[in-house]
Amino acid sequence: MPPIILAIESSCDETSAAIVKNGKVLNNIIATQFEHQNYGGVIPELASRTHQRNIVPVVSKALDSCKINIKQIDAIAFTQGPGLLGSLLVGISFAKGLSLALGKPLIEINHLQAHILAHFIDDPKPEFPFLCLIVSGGHTQIVKVDNYFEMDIIGETLDDAVGEAFDKAAKLLGFAYPGGPLIDKYAKTGDPFKFKFPKTSVRDFDLSFSGIKTAFLYFLKREIVNDPNFIENNLHDICASIQYTLIQMLFDRLIAISHKTKVHNIAIAGGVAANSYLRGQLVIIAKKESWNIYIPKLEYCTDNAAMVAMAAHFKYLENKFSNLKATAFPRLKYWTV
Ligand code: KG4
Ligand code: ZN
């Protein structure tokens, strides 16, 4: 019988459930938490509580929407990390309860691997090896992917994630959290070369975004002294310029790593992969560098359970099951499963 797997994602502020049947993702139910908007970031305790409220309706909706009875499920997959401890525990405990009740096995999934394996939900699927730029609110990494389970981090941020830099810059401009998409929106009609920000350089293939965040703060303070309405008067150009600098830093590293590894299959993943400038630039650079590029659908860029389901399918085929002792790993990093 083709395996049917229920997958749960609860690592940050999205409660999500999806069903995968014989490798085909049937749905992807996501409840986004808007409770954090006024706090400038995700409040961990609030996130856990909201997951508690959302998880039953989200899972029920996933089962109902594809008319699958819970008894037909062959395995239950959950995100084990990285992520917020309290948020992860909600998904894991729910999965364990279900596993006990149904007598079906558990599959634990690394959230970052899931972001990468989201590329196998739809066609065209990347060929191995490929490089995946994972850019989200919590992570910024360039990973060499040799197969479904073997992945090596070649470069990563030493401090803030690029999504965090977007959100912090957005907060300074007065946007609600997460402000990354608003920077993208206003930047569309701005001049990316109007204002210059220093790109922090660090060793080898790594990245750093904390310096640019501080530089942006002092830039705004300086300009506001001369013009109290500086932000309002220059919003589009400011957004375009900071966005240009952040995305350019990513591409500098991605190009260098592609040259070094001689890998020309390039994929992007994570919430910032939804950024329209990044997506557009990727197409342009790909032509110059002779890259084959893989850009996921927007709903598979931000956190979602479809990607967890896809990763779980591959683990199911290899009999890579977890057990009832499974727990959360907020700082989970390793790649070989
Ligand atoms: O992967 P994700 O949903 O959650 C995790 O952080 O794991 O990524 C969320 C991040 C936020 O920082 C958000 O501002 C950023 O992705 N983001 C964007 C855009 N859409 C989402 N940043 C820039 N431009 C966008 N269009
Ligand atoms: Zn994520």
Q: What is the CA radius of gyration of the chain?
A: 20
**Integer Cα distance of 1 and 124 in angstroms:** 26
Ligand nearest to the CA of 246: 1
Hey, CA dihedral for 223, 224, 227, 229, is it positive or negative? Answer: positive
**Which ligand 1 atom sits nearest the alpha carbon of residue 303?**
3
pTM for the whole thing? 0.93
- The verdict on the CB of residue 12 being under 6 Å from ligand 1 is yes
Q: Residues whose CB is under 5 A from ligand 2 (ion)?
A: 136, 303
Q: Which residue has the tokens 């049947």?
A: 21
Q: Which of 14, 48, 47, 17 lies closest to 312, judged by CA?
A: 17
- The verdict on the CB of residue 274 being under 6 Å from ligand 1 is yes
DSSP output for 205-253: T-B--HHHHHHHHHHHHHHHHH-TTHHHHHHHHHHHHHHHHHHHHHHHH
Q: To 5 degrees, how large is the angle CA 62–CA 64–CA 69? A: 100
Ligand nearest to the CA of 9: 2
**Integer Cα distance of 70 and 64 in angstroms:** 9
What was the pLDDT predicted at 331? 87
User: Which of 166, 167, 299 should be mutated for ligand 1, with most atoms under 8 A from CB?
Assistant: 166
Confidence check: pLDDT of 141 > 70? yes
Q: In this predicted model, what pLDDT tens digit does every residue of 2-54 receive, in sequence order?
A: 899 999 999 998 999 999 999 999 999 999 888 888 887 889 999 999 999 99
**Integer Cα distance of 32 and 117 in angstroms:** 21
Reduced to 3 states, what is the DSSP secondary structure of residue 115?
helix
- The verdict on the CB of residue 166 being under 6 Å from ligand 1 is yes
Q: In this predicted model, what pLDDT tens digit does every residue of 250-272 receive, in sequence order?
A: 999 999 999 999 999 999 999 99
